[in-house]
């Protein structure tokens, strides 16, 4: 369920102890205990060594597919490429009708209409068999634009039919301690996600963790994004290295766990960028299950932002079924 702006604002005021000002946010965020980096990395490494049995692997491969935001975010994207992406999202493996669909397709805002049209009757809630359309916005990937431009970018994508908005935070403002500015911009973008009927498109807040430098900054940015009303926190744009890593995602999951214990609200997490193999994706599934619980392994609470991951999952799935890998032409080239 999407968090509305009034509820988010009331919770934020309650937690920071007054109006959500720069000073109150700084006091609250900088009062959060620091992360033991060595301990975090050791726990992530330990979770990454867990093995699963063949029957569980079959379930895991299907679940990975169901959690993918199949993505194309290139300057050379065309309506034809988006239609091809949607066709693959709807029928990932034409030779196996039991293959599940992905959760969403993720495109630039000006491609949303093409994605919606191509999906047709398949456009809908991924928790009920549909495929959502996610759009990157707010001057993705840099975020270097005026607030007016960011809001227009968001509203345009929502009006074109985007179900989800992936926004980027102002990393420069965050790193210079201007937490109030980052908070206010997220709140404003969340309001721009409001549809004509009063409902909201889901808001995923991209932290761009590769530019935040420390786990403590990742934790603070995660808390700040949730306080401002983000429905998901997302690691990366995929345009900056390093992108998603298991320790960073673990630190974000721990924030989501603590927020749920504090408020009862469930916030989603989306690692994006650099997750290309089934083996790596399974590590993330294990980390989610062990940190926040298996109930988070649903499209409305966890996603993989990926373009090539689906191909490897399809190959592994076929190997599990037939005992051998298919040739290189078994999957489409992205």
Q: Is the peptide bond before 301 cis (omega within 30 degrees of 0)?
A: no
Catalytic option among 163, 166, 170, 231: 166
Sign of CA dihedral 292, 295, 298, 301: negative
| Angle made by CA atoms 127, 129, 131, in degrees to the nearest 5 | 85
What is the Cα–Cα distance from 155 to 200, expressed in whole angstroms? 11
Catalytic residue list contains 234: yes
The CA R_g of the chain, rounded to the nearest whole Å, is 19
What is the Cα–Cα distance from 280 to 278, expressed in whole angstroms? 5
Catalytic residue list contains 53: no
CA dihedral 1, 65, 106, 209 (to 10 degrees): 80
What is the Cα–Cα distance from 257 to 302, expressed in whole angstroms? 13
Q: Are strands 202-206 and 164-168 parallel, antiparallel or unpaired?
A: parallel
- SS3 for 153? helix
Which residues, at least 6 apart from 134, have a Cβ–Cβ distance to it below 8 Å? 69, 104, 105, 106, 107, 162, 163, 164, 165, 166, 204
What is the Cα–Cα distance from 76 to 107, expressed in whole angstroms? 12
Catalytic option among 88, 190, 266, 270: 270
User: Per the structure block, which two tokens stand in for 60?
Assistant: 């895991």
Catalytic residue list contains 283: no
Beta bridge partners, 133, equal 105
Catalytic option among 150, 204, 234, 283: 234
What is the Cα–Cα distance from 50 to 112, expressed in whole angstroms? 39
What is the Cα–Cα distance from 312 to 309, expressed in whole angstroms? 5
Report how far apart the first and last C-alpha atoms of the chain are (Å, whole number). 32
Query: Looking at the annotation, which residues are catalytic?
Result: 166, 234, 270
């Amino acid at each position: 369920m999407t968090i509305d702006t009034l509820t988010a604002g009331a919770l934020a005021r309650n937690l920071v102890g007054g109006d959500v000002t720069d000073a109150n946010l700084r006091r609250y965020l900088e009062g959060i205990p620091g992360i033991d980096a060595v301990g975090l990395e050791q726990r992530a490494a330990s979770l990454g060594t867990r093995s699963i049995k063949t029957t569980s692997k079959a379930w895991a491969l299907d679940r990975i597919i169901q959690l993918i935001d199949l993505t194309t975010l290139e300057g050379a994207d065309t309506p034809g490429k988006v239609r091809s992406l949607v066709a693959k999202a709807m029928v990932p493996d034409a030779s196996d009708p039991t293959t599940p669909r992905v959760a969403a397709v993720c495109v630039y805002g000006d491609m949303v209409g093409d994605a919606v049209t191509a999906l047709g009757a398949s456009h809908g809630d991924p928790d009920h068999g549909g495929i959502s359309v996610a759009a990157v916005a707010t001057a993705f990937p840099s975020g270097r634009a005026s607030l007016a431009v960011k809001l227009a970018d968001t509203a345009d994508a929502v009006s074109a039919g985007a179900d989800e908005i992936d926004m980027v935070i102002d990393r420069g403002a965050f790193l210079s301690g201007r937490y109030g500015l980052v908070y206010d911009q997220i709140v404003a973008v969340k309001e721009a996600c409001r549809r004509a009927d009063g409902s909201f498109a889901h808001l995923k807040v991209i932290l761009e963790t590769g530019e935040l430098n420390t786990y403590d900054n990742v934790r603070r940015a995660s808390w700040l994004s949730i306080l401002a009303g983000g429905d998901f926190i997302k690691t990366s744009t995929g345009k900056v290295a390093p992108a998603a890593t298991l320790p960073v995602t673990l630190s974000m999951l721990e924030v989501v766990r603590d927020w749920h214990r504090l408020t009862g609200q469930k916030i989603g997490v989306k690692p994006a960028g650099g997750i290309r193999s089934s083996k790596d994706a399974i590590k993330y599934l294990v980390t989610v299950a062990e940190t926040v619980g298996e109930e988070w392994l649903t499209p409305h609470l966890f996603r993989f932002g990926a373009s090539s991951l689906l191909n490897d999952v399809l190959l592994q799935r076929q190997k599990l079924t037939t005992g051998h890998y298919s040739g290189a032409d078994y999957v489409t080239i992205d």
